[in-house]
Structure 1
Amino acid sequence: MADKKTKGRQKIPLEKIKKEVDLKVAFSKRLSTLYTNASKIVRDCNVDIGIVLSSPSGKNQYSFVHPTTDVVIDRFVNPTMELDLGTRLVAENARNIAIQNNIRLNELDAREAAAKEKIRSLKQMDETRDKCWWEFVDQINAENITTFETKLNSIEGILNDQLKKLEIETSSSLQAPLENADN
């Protein structure tokens, strides 16, 4: 068996990132992933969820809450407690808005998938179609150039002959006497 050129996927031990810049970059990437995953959980499971984060520098705080902060805190403090009518109405309204937004998101995702499929099929059609000579300009050699030049010269001759015929026809029709010249 031949030696591998790379080590492949390796286990990386989890440890604190030492460089400040790398730490901030990793945090921002993981923050967006965390928000995306929380949104998917809310969409798929219709649950109450709350996430509170502090940036590595401690200056910025980030949160993701669904449906409302009050509902999430009340559920966290006492999971079996019934919510009052006002809080339930606000939570239900927030859920309905989330459901409508998720329906719209699913429609947009479907349109995006259809557009990607169309682009893929157009690329495939472009790859399989016969190419024109101008699409291979970078591959033309000296023999092709002389052949092309010969064809252009013959076409130029044909066009010149056609132009002369048209000029003769138009000049002869202008010089012909009018039928009712005496009138």
Structure 2
Amino acid sequence: MGRRKIEMKMVRDNNLRQVTFSKRRNGLFKKANELATLCAAQVAIVVFSPGGKPFSFGHPSVDVVSQRFMNQDYSRTKPPHVVDDDPKEAEGGVQDLNQQLTHLLKQLQMEKQRGEELNKALKANRATCKYKKPINQLNLDELLDMKTSLEKLRENLQGRVSEIEASSSLLLLNKANNESEN
């Protein structure tokens, strides 16, 4: 079926209007975040739901951007993470954060692909599994073979758990370092 062109007019049904608002709001905030990330722009958006509830997005924050807008002077209202009055240093900090974000997003994409590959391998392995009989119907040789396979699996899992714990520790240290710098 694909995507359809939606006529731009007021949604009459209240429930459908709320759902549309939520989806469009998330898309709007995502695009604003992309704009801030790609262009090192300062962005602020404030929207009110059909029920009157306020929602906001700001980069670096709504307060900083609104103050800058009201004062029309960057030197009077600098973002909270900027220590010096030099705007180029502020851009450098934002660019570093953007690079970190890009790197993490690439890692996430690689892990998703790896997960898909593991799922495919698991499905293929299930199709060729040699232990199709219930365990109480296996003979002694099959049971010994299964025991050896399970011990190998246990070793592999312990190695993988160690890798994950090491990665987790590095992420926690990196997060602690980032928080202490701020």
TM-score w.r.t. the length of structure 1 is 0.53
Alignment of 1:89-168 (within 5 A): 90=80, 92=82, 98-99=94-95, 101-128=97-124, 131-135=128-132
Alignment check: 8 A CA contact 1:53 1:63 kept: yes
Alignment check: 8 A CA contact 2:29 2:57 kept: yes
Equivalent position amino acid for 2:55 in 1: Y
Q: 1:16 to 1:106 in 2, by over 3 A?
A: same
Alignment check: 8 A CA contact 1:50 1:65 kept: yes
Alignment of 1:27-42 (within 5 A): 27-42=21-36
Q: Which residue of 2 aligns with 1:66?
A: 59
Alignment check: 8 A CA contact 1:67 1:95 kept: no
Paired with 1:40 and 1:52, the residues of 2 have a C-alpha distance of 17
Quote how far apart the aligned CAs of 1:40 are. Answer: 0.8
Q: 1:89 to 1:112 in 2, by over 3 A?
A: closer
Q: Tell me which structure has the larger Cα radius of gyration.
A: 1
Equivalent position amino acid for 2:9 in 1: E
Alignment check: 8 A CA contact 2:48 2:54 kept: yes
Q: Deviations over 1:64-117 (max 9, x none)?
A: 223344653465457xx5433x52364735766654543443232122112122
Q: Deviations over 1:36-82 (max 9, x none)?
A: 11111101001122212111122x1122223344653465457xx54
Q: Deviations over 1:94-151 (max 9, x none)?
A: 76665454344323212211212212322343455561254599xxxxxxxxxxx8xx
Alignment check: 8 A CA contact 2:47 2:55 kept: yes
| Secondary structure class of the residue paired with 1:29 | helix
Quote how far apart the aligned CAs of 1:12 are. Answer: 3.1
Alignment check: 8 A CA contact 2:67 2:77 kept: no
Paired with 1:119 and 1:82, the residues of 2 have a C-alpha distance of 49
Q: Which residue of 1 aligns with 2:48?
A: 54
Q: Which residue of 2 aligns with 1:83?
A: 74
Q: 1:57 to 1:19 in 2, by over 3 A?
A: same
Identity %: 27
| Secondary structure class of the residue paired with 1:87 | coil
Q: 1:90 to 1:55 in 2, by over 3 A?
A: same
User: Which structure 2 residue ranges, 5 or more long, are not aligned?
Assistant: 84-89, 141-182
